[in-house]
């Protein structure tokens, strides 16, 4: 009987701890600062792709990168 109680207690403790860590992770991951940082890194990668191209291609790539940035930031 005591072993069963200990197992149930450990199981409940593990599930509670796991749920708490998921909640903290999602809260940190979805903070405005982290969202902006992730979007900025994506924008910089898109800009680096257009280096060395013609002016017309560079402008099109910058427009796409700009649109992707605003979409990432959830700006309509």
55-67 pLDDT, tens digit each:
888 888 888 888 8
Among 4-8, 14-18, 55-59, name the one with the lowest average pLDDT: 55-59
pLDDT range class, residue 1, cuts 50, 70, 90: confident
**Interatomic CA distance for residues 15 and 2, integer angstroms:** 20
Give the three-class secondary structure for 73.
coil
- Across 11-16, average pLDDT: 97
Find all residues with CB under 8 Å of 53, minimum gap 6, and list them. Answer: 61
């Amino acid at each position: 009987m005591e072993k069963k109680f200990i197992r149930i207690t450990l199981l409940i403790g593990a599930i509670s701890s796991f749920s708490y860590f998921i909640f903290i992770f999602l809260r940190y991951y979805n903070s405005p600062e982290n969202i902006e940082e992730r979007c900025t890194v994506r924008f910089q990668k898109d800009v680096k792709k257009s280096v060395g191209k013609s002016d017309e291609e560079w402008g099109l790539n910058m427009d796409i990168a700009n649109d992707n940035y605003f979409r990432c930031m959830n700006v309509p």
